[in-house]
Structure formats: C-alpha cells, structure tokens
Amino acid sequence: MGSARGAEPTQSPREFYGEELRIRREDAGMTQEQLGERAFCSGSLIAHYEAGRRKPPSDVAMRLDDALGTGTFFYRMRRTLNAVRFPDFFAAAAEAEQRATVIEEYAATLVPGILQTEAYARAVFRAYQPSRPPAEIDQLVVNRRGRARILDKAAGQPRVWVILSENVIRAAVGGPVVMGDQVAALARLAQSGRVQVQVVPHGAGAHATMSSMLSLMRFAEEPDVAYVEALHTGWLEDDPATVQKYRYSYDLARAAALSLSASHHLLEAVAEEYARDH
C-alpha cells in the first residue's frame, strides 16, 4: 500500500494512521457507521481512530483490514503507533494538548514546553539527562518543538494563557545568550497577542500554585482536564471536582500576577538585561 494522499509530514504516527484509515474508508464508499458495523465497533470509535485520538486493538485492526480489503495493512501499521515520543507519564497530556481549544499554564521553574526555543529546550534536556547521546538529545528537542506547532494553527486556536513565576525568567538556563533569546521570544508572543503572558513577581510572596507546574486544558467536545508535573513524574486529572480545585488555584495565581501590560514590560526589561550580560 502507498502512503496516504494529503498526509502531512509533521503528523504523529496516530494521525497518519487515522488519515490513511479515512482515505481507505472513503475510497470504499463507506460511512464511519458502516465501517464500524463491519468491524464490530461503533461509528464513534471509527471517528476517534481517524482523528488519531485512539489506537485500535489488534482484533479491530484485523477486522478493519477485512472490511476494507487491505490485507494486513492496518494490523501491521499498529506497530508504528508504539513509537515513544514522550515519557509515559506525559504521553496522554501531549495528545490532549493537540486537541485543546484553550490551554492555561502555570510554570514555577521552566518555560512551558510549547513556548521553549530550540536552544532553551536543548539546554534543559542536557541538564536533565547529561549522559544521553547527542543524537537522542536532538530527537527530544525535535519532539518538544513539534508540540509548539499548535501555535501555528489558524484562527488562533488553541487560546494560550501562561502565568510564569519570576523564577522562570531569572534562571539563566543555557547562559545569558540562550536565556535572552528565550525571554525575548516570550515578549514577542505576548506583544503579538498569540499568547497571553503574566508574571508573578518575587514581591508577590506566597500564592496557590507556587509549588508545582500546572496545565489546564479545555476542549470542544470533551470535559476539562488538568495536568500536574513534578520531577520525573506527572499525572492527567479528569475528575471534574478535582479539576475545579486546580482551576481555583490557577485563578488565585492569576490574581497574584502582574497585569498583561506590566508583565510584557518586565519581559522586555529582563531580555535587555541578558543582552547586556553577553
């Protein structure tokens, strides 16, 4: 079988699989419901497979091949969906990030991944995993930068709001040149309006989210989720009551932060400080 017509080179393996499935289904003249009936699953599951949100079990993949007359193509292609791009604890959050319509983040120590420059991301990975071979570090950087493509989507979605502890912009990750470029990039994003950025200054003292990284995500047709991360671990929370508690903490952090305008001025001033230091 040839490659999917119209598939984007930046697609994830699941997105490629889903695109190929959609094309084969349409070529066969079947609706999602009709294919679901033949594969003994629901039409909504077919929709999830085609959107890259779900991975079909091996028995379903075999029935998809039978229904579409594709030999063992979809069964064999399942192996490509096991490629590890992110740690296990972050994989579900990375997938959710791509579907979100609104992303709100609080960062206590590091610039959020989708906003990191290449040089900043490389410095972070080298610090966390100093023994990793350079080629593996390169791949980690590519994966992280790939997440940032959501900022290139049309119509300004997802809407992104980021609250940074002042620690984030004061820690010279990678040295003054790398950090200066990173803070300047944040200032440009804030100036463009593509990302709303607020900074919680040191003078604000204690506040509700200062001890951890928090990401809140909203979707068009799914319940809100929260992702919380610590060193070498993280968890995605979808219990509505718990997500609401995280949202309350996030709102308290927003109240402690500088205004959007004052935050932008601070970002520009700090970027200039780094520029003077090299």
- Domains in the chain (CATH in brackets) are 13-82 (1.10.260.40), 88-276 (3.30.870)
pLDDT band at 5 (very low <50, low <70, confident <90, very high): very low
State the pLDDT at residue 8. 38
Q: Give the model confidence (pLDDT) of 174-205 as tens digits.
A: 999 999 999 999 999 999 999 999 999 999 98
Residues 6+ apart with CB under 8 A from 93: 215, 225, 227, 234, 236
121-165 pLDDT, tens per residue? 999 999 999 998 888 888 888 889 889 989 987 667 899 999 999
Residue 169 has pLDDT above 90, yes or no: yes
- Residue range 99-123: mean pLDDT, rounded: 96
Mean pLDDT of the region 34-60: 91
Q: What is the pLDDT of the chain when averaged over all its residues?
A: 89
